[in-house]
Every structure is written in C-alpha cells, then in structure tokens.
C-alpha cells in the first residue's frame, strides 16, 4: 500500500465528553489501521494549540501577492517587506504546506452559535491565502484530489425538515469554503451528530432516542468513510 497522509484537526472547546472529538478519534483509529504502517498522521488541536488570528501585515502581503497573480510559496516569501510580514508568512506557510501535503483532511467541527468555532475560523482565515492552492506553473488546483471528512456535532437539531434547518451556517459554510480551495464536491464527506446536548438542555427533553439514533448513524458513517478513503 502506498504512503497516505491524514491531517486531523479538532476544534471542540471542551475536550471532555466531546462528541466531535470522539468521532474524529474513531475515524483516525480506523483509518490508521486500514493504512497500517504506510500512514502518516498529523493531529492539530486548534484549542490546545490555537492558530493566531491574522493581522494587518498578513493582509498587506496578501494584497501584494494578488497583484502578481498565482505565485509559488518561495516567490511569496520573496515579497515579504517587514518583520511583521515575515512573522505572518512563517505562521501561514507551515499550515498551508500541512494542508497541501494531506491526502485526507479530517475536521471535527462542533456548531457554536450556528457556525464554526473561533479556533477553526482562525485556522481557515490564516490558510486561505491568495493562490496557495493553485500550481503556479500549470494553473492546476492542488487540492482537487484531496478527500475531506467533516464531523459536525450540533447540540440541537438542524437537519432537513427541522424548525432550525435554516439556522445552519456551519455545514454549508464548510462545503463552500473547501470548494473555493478547489476540493471536488464529491470528495467532501459530512458526518453529522445532532441533539448532542439532549441531556442538559430542558427544551430537548424527550428527544433522547432521536439523539441516540443520530449518534449511531454518525458512528456508522465514520466507519464506512474510514474504510473507503
């Protein structure tokens, strides 16, 4: 079996009892076992090791790059004009290279206030750098074959037909963002566990069986995807 690389990101702010973390750990273990010794796994905990928010120097460098068109990462580095820009680029380049090196990206994303966590958003903002996922020589999309597995946990119910379906700015956002980077739509797999706070929110009382069914479906989906990617 050829070597495979998994980038595993967790963004749940409460590790103890985290449904998203439990499911991503389940996926990672199954994926590692399937790939045996040929697997390379990079785990980035966006809570324990947060990505610094982008600063003005990041935007200054990004605008300069955009005026030049698509550049290699080395060519971007050559455009740095200040210590502040150097700091921003060093932080950014390592994360871009980490993403570009992955065959599979595993993302644990609990819903916070109808969208993603601040830690995940900081990572997204930093690695969304102009032209970083396009080959400077050929124009090809570098992430076109990358497989993405999003494990989304939501305290309430936001699935099709639910009263809060239109409050979901989490999964549509992540699908659109990965697509904007060049990931093929068919390569984005979403696993959803809903009603995860059924035991501590009084308004959800009585929905325990639905929560259990949702978790069971999520576990089955994680296992199936891990066996296929």
* Domains in the chain: boundaries: 4-154+172-226
Which CATH superfamily includes the segment(s) 4-154+172-226? Flavodoxin domain (3.40.50.360)
Rounded Cα distance between 192 and 219, Å, is 9
- What pLDDT, on the 0 to 100 scale, is given for residue 1? 43
Q: What share of the chain is helix, strand, coil (3-state, %, to 5)?
A: 45, 15, 40
Annotated binding-site ranges: 18-20, 111-114
- What pLDDT, on the 0 to 100 scale, is given for residue 125? 98
Distances (CA, A) of 119 to 10, 79, 116, 222: 9, 28, 8, 23
- What pLDDT, on the 0 to 100 scale, is given for residue 138? 94
Rounded Cα distance between 145 and 143, Å, is 5
Q: Could you write out the DSSP letters of every residue in 161-177?
A: TSTTGGG--SHHHHHHH
Q: State pLDDT tens for residues 141-179.
A: 999 999 999 999 999 999 999 999 999 999 999 999 999
In the predicted model, residues of the chain with pLDDT beneath 50 are: 1
Judged by DSSP in three states, 57 sits in helix
- What pLDDT, on the 0 to 100 scale, is given for residue 39? 77
Distances (CA, A) of 186 to 73, 82, 148, 178, 189: 28, 41, 9, 11, 8
Chain centroid to Cα 11, Å, comes to 9
- What pLDDT, on the 0 to 100 scale, is given for residue 179? 97
Annotated binding-site ranges for FMN: 18-20, 111-114
- What pLDDT, on the 0 to 100 scale, is given for residue 196? 94
Taking the model in full, what pTM does it have? 0.94
- What pLDDT, on the 0 to 100 scale, is given for residue 37? 66
Q: State pLDDT tens for residues 176-201.
A: 999 999 999 999 999 999 999 998 88
**Would you say 33 and 122 are in contact if contact means Cβ atoms under 8 Å apart?**
no
**What sections of 135-207 are H helices per DSSP?**
171-180
Backbone angles phi, psi at 51, to 5 degrees: -85, 125
């Amino acid at each position: 079996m050829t070597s495979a690389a998994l980038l595993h990101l967790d963004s749940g702010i409460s590790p103890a009892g985290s449904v998203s973390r439990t499911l991503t750990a389940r996926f990672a273990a199954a994926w590692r076992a399937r790939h045996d010794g040929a697997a390379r796994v990079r785990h980035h905990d966006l809570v324990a090791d947060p990505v610094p928010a982008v600063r003005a120097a990041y935007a200054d460098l990004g605008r300069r790059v955009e005026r030049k068109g698509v550049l290699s990462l080395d060519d971007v580095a050559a455009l740095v004009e200040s210590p502040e820009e150097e700091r921003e680029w060093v932080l950014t380049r390592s994360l871009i290279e980490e993403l570009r090196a992955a065959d599979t990206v595993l993302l644990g994303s609990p819903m916070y206030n109808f969208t993603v966590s601040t830690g995940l958003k900081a990572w997204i903002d930093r690695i969304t750098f102009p032209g970083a996922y396009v080959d400077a020589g050929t124009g090809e999309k570098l992430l076109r074959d990358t497989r993405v597995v999003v494990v989304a946990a939501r305290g309430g119910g936001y699935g099709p037909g639910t009263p809060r379906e239109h409050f979901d700015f989490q999964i549509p956002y992540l699908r659109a963002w990965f697509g904007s980077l060049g990931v093929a739509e068919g390569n984005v797999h979403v696993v959803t566990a809903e009603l995860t706070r059924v035991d501590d929110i009084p308004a959800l009382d009585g929905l325990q069986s639905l929560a259990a069914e949702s978790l069971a479906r999520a576990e089955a989906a994680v296992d199936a995807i891990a066996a296929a990617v």
